[in-house]
Amino acid sequence: MNWLERILSKKERLVVGLMSGTSLDGVDSVLVRIKGHELETKVEMINFICLPYESSLLKRLDEVISKGSTREVSTLNFLLGKAFSEAALAVIKGAGLSTGDVDLIGSHGQTVYHNPPSSFNVPPASQFRLRRTTAKKGVPSTIQIGELDVIAERTGITTVGDFRTRDLAAGGEGAPLVPYVDYILFHKPGRISIAQNIGGIANATVITGRMEDVIAFDTGPGNMLMDNVVSLATNGRKRFDKNGRLASQGSIDKKLLGKLLSHPFFSKPPPKSTGAELFGKKKALELYTLVKKRKTTLSDLVATILELTVESISLSYERFIFPKRKVNEVILSGGGARNPVLVDRLKRRLGYLKLSTSDKYGIPVDAKEAIAFAVLANELIYGNCTNLPSVTGAKKTVPLGKIALGGRR
């Protein structure tokens, strides 16, 4: 294991973190310097880029998530491995370094299917007047593509990935994955904060005094529904509502908002996770049909979906966090933190709380998720367990990730 001894003997390591979320806007690639591990971890960002997917690859990726064959999943696994390796090489080159300078890559991959244990136990109607739905059937499972061996082969750098599966194997949700890193990055003695990421899906981490007491869960849709509706309305010419312009021009349809909030996912207690299966393109198409039938306008629909994100986040705090914890601060990250309309609505809705962004802590909002997978890769080579059973519901702590050894050219 000379490769491991060489990396562990260093006082600091250069690590690339790769992330592609449910928004499908491209591969986030970050280069960081990491010192130490576990609670002694120190992270310094060196460079960050987002490499957009080529339009042809994006189209195939959209299709494989909704109705892909095993052949297409296999093909895209290798094509995305190439795309991820190109993002890694680009961020290294942009920092003026070579692949020989970099010790590790941590890659989340692209989720194409996620069916956690919580999908099998949807709660019945409750005091929130939720309608009954049929729970999923089958075996809890998850698939992230972006072949690790392709990344390792094309870059020559040892690559860590496939972080979700071990937690599912231990009975957990396989998500959220980043609460361990949220604790390392944002923990302050004597303070309780919420790290609120708003990507395609929104998730919250309650950062408490002890890591063992941390809770975290997906709160519901972040940008995913809005992005997909905008894409449908513009035939793909636009992928998102830039600066919330459409939403700012619309009015909230309270009846539709109430119907959307009646989904059982929102009242189900943690642990829980979700994704495109509930709030992806299929749901967006259903909602966009209202515009096509002239039952609402596009701006009103986008404003209502934005409010769904705001309300689902706020209600999750009021139902599952505030009864147990007195929160001092909410720390926003993810693409939603760049949407001024969304942030303004959250500030109004949660006016009694201090809201800031991860930028305040030296972690750019766009780069936080990619940084998390660089840190998780660093933890795996030390053999550390990085899932949190209090978050995912797993039976025990387990190490997350698999390793594809690089081959220096």
**Are 193 and 329 contacting, i.e. CB atoms less than 8 angstroms apart?**
yes
How far apart, in whole angstroms, are the C-alpha atoms of residue 17 and residue 28?
Answer: 8
Looking at the fold, whether 124 and 207 belong to one and the same domain comes out as: no
Which residues neighbour 191 within 8 Å (Cβ) at sequence distance 6 or greater? 328, 329
> What are the backbone dihedrals phi and psi of residue 218, each rounded to the nearest 5 degrees, phi first?
-75, 130
Any residues with CB less than 8 A from the CB of 115 and at least 6 apart, and which? 136, 138, 139, 140, 141, 142, 277
Amino acid at 293: K
Residues 159 and 186 grouped into a single domain: no
Do 98 and 198 belong together in one domain? no
Residue 43 lies in a domain: yes
Contacts of 184 (CB under 8 A, 6+ apart): 38, 39, 41, 43, 375
Which residues of the chain are modeled with pLDDT < 50? 122-135, 409
The total of structural domains in the chain comes to 2
**367 domain-assigned:** no
Domain region containing 145? 2-173+373-383+396-404
The residue ranges of DSSP E strands in 9-134, in sequence order, are 12-20, 27-35, 42-51, 104-115
Do 145 and 165 reside in the same domain of the chain?
yes
Do 168 and 184 lie in one domain? The reply is no
Same domain, 168 and 197: no
Q: 185 CB contacts (<8 Å, ≥6 apart)?
A: 43, 195, 358, 361, 363, 368, 371
Q: Say what the pLDDT of residue 5 is.
A: 86
Predicted structure pTM score: 0.88
Residues 38 and 133 occupy one common structural domain: yes
184 in the same domain as 318? yes
The answer to whether residue 38 sits within a structural domain is yes
User: Are 128 and 213 within one domain?
Assistant: no
What pLDDT shows up at residue 60? 86
In tens, the pLDDT along 218-235 reads: 999 999 999 999 999 999
Which residue matches tokens 């919250």?
Answer: 204
DSSP state of 41: -
Quote the tokens at residue 248.
């700012």
333 burial type by CB count under 10 A (0-12 exposed, 13-18 middle, 19+ buried): buried
191 and 44 inside one domain: no
pLDDT at residue 271, rounded to an integer: 87
Task: Say whether both 81 and 202 belong to one domain.
Answer: no
| CATH number of the domain encompassing residue 132 | 3.30.420.40
Residue 66, number of CB atoms within 10 A of its CB: 12
